[in-house]
């Protein structure tokens, strides 16, 4: 049976400065579950946004053919009208409305303009039965966990007479039980003739459920294969298989004493208090050493870092921190900074910078106390310090009185780093330090990281880009589903070995 329901050919999508997709081809057969795999940033989500009309026809090159007819979607409503429904990783339910209201949002069951509630709730109950959710349609969505909300999303898709269901990382936020239920449901839908495209990082799930797998890498299609012909190893090598270039400065570390030890660190989600995001993680950072933390999206990297940094994320945090061998308490960001810990966020615009202020005031923001006497800031000293950073970090701006919001990503990142270096930390946690930065600036950031290590600071780099971790780190931890699954010295690490550890399921201890 080779009835092709969807054919995307020659898709190229360009953002300013970046080719996100380059001549991508995808062919999905009717009634199959088709997985798309690739590293973060490989272009999976972009491809799905092209397909669903989030990026309308005309903003990309190439052709889409659905059920044999060419498609020129100008928005998400067009694609839904044809039976293509996408369920995003961040669920899009109105949490104060009932399940039934959510299912029929924008598609209200009305007679002559008035909503027929009996019809709405009855139809909702029937759909909920199909997805195996035993809740009533009148239950407010806010009372449901993420797993059940996902099922509501699928019920909503079914109400739109879906033919092709796209799920972006459907199980990333789910616990094992909910994941298993969801996967069973998808198999059931396949038997009813609904085609599914799944974007997933969880290779065991990909192997278990999908009929075929397509690999994307750096915005290109690498191959499409039947699942029975595949192994997890083959998928991994497809996902990472690019050459390492000389994009990283040479660096010989001088590794000293232990600076920070994290022991049995456990963090629970603030929105789902029963879900552990980090489970009994143990890490050791030493002076002069650059340590990497690798993990796929949802593995708990940022959650681990932020919870260590003054408990700025998560609840019911347990575990111990040892700084220079002595146990410390860091219950607030201020305490963490005072203990010599710094954390540069992965989202500098939202969490790292005051975009409407100038470079000077951003640089001084975390260390105002150092520039002040008796509560009064020495403005001239502040200027001098900021100007020194402008020189040493090579921040390209006319003066330190330039507004940070107008700088390029690379220069903004240098401002963030300056801000933390000014606090004179012993331990620097850098979360995605080169995200959204062009190649030249990346090299500069790597040089700065090396310099910090040479000054005797312990550096922890969190990154989604394995080549980057392999290029700059002396030692790499892997994190999978909140657990440390491996600790690999640089000499022994390869992208394949890391990816295997990052996708490893840990089953010894039940959650």
For other proteins, the binding residues (CB under 8 A) are 309-310, 312, 332-334, 336-337, 343, 345, 349-357, 361, 364-366, 368-369, 372, 375-377, 379-380, 383-384, 387, 390-391, 398-399, 401, 403, 405-406, 419
> Given strand 258-268, what is the order of strands in its sheet?
276-286, 258-268, 315-323, 326-328
CA distances to 85, 98, 154 from 109, in Å: 19, 14, 18
Q: How far is the CB of 76 from other proteins (least distance, A)?
A: 24
- Dig out the tokens for 432 from the structure: 């995605």
Q: How far is the CB of 353 from other proteins (least distance, A)?
A: 6
- CA gap 462, 295 in Å, rounded: 8
Contacts made by residues 445-450, CB under 8 angstroms, sequence distance 24+: 445/410, 445/413, 445/414, 445/417, 446/248, 446/249, 446/471, 446/472, 447/249, 448/393, 448/414, 448/417, 449/290, 450/249, 450/251, 450/290
Q: How far is the CB of 210 from other proteins (least distance, A)?
A: 38
- CA gap 86, 123 in Å, rounded: 21
Nearer to other proteins, 129 or 334 (CB): 334
Question: CB neighbours (10 Å) of residue 204?
Answer: 12
Nearer to other proteins, 188 or 379 (CB): 379
Q: How far is the CB of 391 from other proteins (least distance, A)?
A: 5
Q: How far is the CB of 302 from other proteins (least distance, A)?
A: 12
Nearer to other proteins, 46 or 364 (CB): 364
Q: How far is the CB of 357 from other proteins (least distance, A)?
A: 6
Nearer to other proteins, 306 or 441 (CB): 306
Q: How far is the CB of 326 from other proteins (least distance, A)?
A: 21
Nearer to other proteins, 364 or 463 (CB): 364
Exposed/middle/buried for residue 75 (C-beta within 10 Å: 0-12, 13-18, 19+): middle
Q: How far is the CB of 429 from other proteins (least distance, A)?
A: 11
Question: CB neighbours (10 Å) of residue 289?
Answer: 21
- Locus of tokens 């959710």: 133
- CA gap 434, 315 in Å, rounded: 28
Q: How far is the CB of 81 from other proteins (least distance, A)?
A: 34
Nearer to other proteins, 107 or 392 (CB): 392
Which distant-in-sequence residues (6+ apart) come within 8 Å of 358 by Cβ?
Answer: 400, 401, 402, 403, 404
- Dig out the tokens for 374 from the structure: 């008796």
- CA gap 421, 363 in Å, rounded: 9
Q: How far is the CB of 436 from other proteins (least distance, A)?
A: 14
Which distant-in-sequence residues (6+ apart) come within 8 Å of 443 by Cβ?
Answer: 247, 248, 249
Nearer to other proteins, 325 or 391 (CB): 391
Give bridge partners of residue 476 from the DSSP assignment.
292, 488
Nearer to other proteins, 186 or 437 (CB): 437
- Dig out the tokens for 197 from the structure: 């495209």
Say if residues 371 and 378 touch (Cβ distance below 8 Å): yes
- CA gap 470, 307 in Å, rounded: 25
Q: How far is the CB of 404 from other proteins (least distance, A)?
A: 9
- CA gap 359, 386 in Å, rounded: 7
Exposed/middle/buried for residue 338 (C-beta within 10 Å: 0-12, 13-18, 19+): middle
Nearer to other proteins, 283 or 397 (CB): 397
Nearer to other proteins, 234 or 383 (CB): 383
Nearer to other proteins, 67 or 383 (CB): 383
């Amino acid at each position: 049976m080779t009835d092709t329901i969807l054919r995307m050919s020659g898709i190229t999508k360009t953002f300013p400065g970046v080719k996100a997709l380059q001549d991508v081809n995808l062919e999905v057969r009717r009634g199959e579950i088709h997985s798309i795999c690739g590293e973060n940033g490989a272009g999976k989500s972009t491809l799905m946004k092209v397909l669903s009309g989030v990026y309308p026809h005309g903003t990309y090159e190439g052709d889409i053919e659905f059920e044999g007819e060419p498609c020129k979607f100008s928005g998400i409503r067009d694609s839904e009208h044809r039976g293509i429904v996408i369920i995003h990783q961040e669920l899009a339910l109105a949490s104060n409305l009932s399940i039934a209201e959510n299912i029929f949002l924008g598609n209200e069951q009305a007679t002559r303009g008035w909503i027929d509630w009996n019809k709405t709730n009855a139809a909702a109950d029937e759909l909920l039965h199909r997805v195996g959710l035993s809740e009533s349609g009148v239950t407010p969505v806010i009372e449901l966990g993420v797993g059940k909300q996902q099922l509501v999303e699928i019920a909503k898709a079914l109400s739109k007479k879906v033919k092709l269901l796209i799920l972006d990382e459907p199980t990333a936020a789910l616990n094992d039980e909910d994941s298993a239920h969801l996967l069973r449901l998808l198999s059931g839908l396949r038997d009813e003739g609904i085609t599914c495209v799944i974007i997933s990082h969880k290779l065991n799930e990909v192997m278990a459920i999908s009929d075929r797998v397509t690999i994307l890498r750096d915005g290109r299609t690498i191959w499409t294969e039947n699942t029975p012909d595949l192994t997890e190893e083959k998928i991994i090598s497809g996902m990472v298989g690019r050459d390492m270039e000389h994009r990283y400065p040479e660096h010989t570390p001088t590794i000293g004493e232990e600076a920070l030890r994290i022991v049995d660190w456990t963090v629970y989600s603030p929105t789902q208090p029963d879900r552990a995001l980090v489970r009994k993680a143990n890490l050791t950072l030493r002076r002069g050493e650059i340590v990497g933390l690798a993990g796929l999206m949802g593995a708990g990297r940022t959650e681990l870092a932020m919870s260590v940094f003054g408990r700025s994320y998560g609840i019911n945090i347990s575990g111990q921190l040892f700084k220079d061998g002595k146990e410390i308490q860091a219950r607030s960001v201020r305490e963490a900074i005072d203990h010599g810990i710094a954390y540069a966020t992965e989202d500098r615009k939202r969490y790292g910078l005051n975009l409407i202020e100038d470079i000077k005031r951003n640089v001084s923001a975390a260390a105002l106390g150092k520039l002040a006497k008796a509560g009064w800031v020495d403005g001239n000293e502040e200027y001098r310090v900021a100007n020194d950073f402008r020189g040493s970090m090579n921040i390209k701006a006319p003066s330190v009185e330039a507004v940070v919001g107008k700088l390029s990503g690379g220069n903004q990142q240098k401002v963030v780093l300056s801000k933390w270096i000014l606090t004179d930390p012993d331990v620097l946690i850098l979360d995605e330090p080169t995200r959204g930065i062009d190649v030249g600036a990346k090299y500069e950031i790597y040089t700065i990281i090396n310099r910090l290590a040479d000054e005797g600071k312990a550096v922890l780099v969190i990154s989604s880009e394995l080549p980057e971790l392999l290029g700059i780190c002396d030692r790499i931890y892997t994190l999978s589903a909140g657990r440390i699954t491996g600790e690999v010295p640089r000499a022994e690490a390869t992208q394949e070995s890391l990816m295997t550890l990052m996708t490893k399921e840990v089953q010894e201890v039940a959650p």
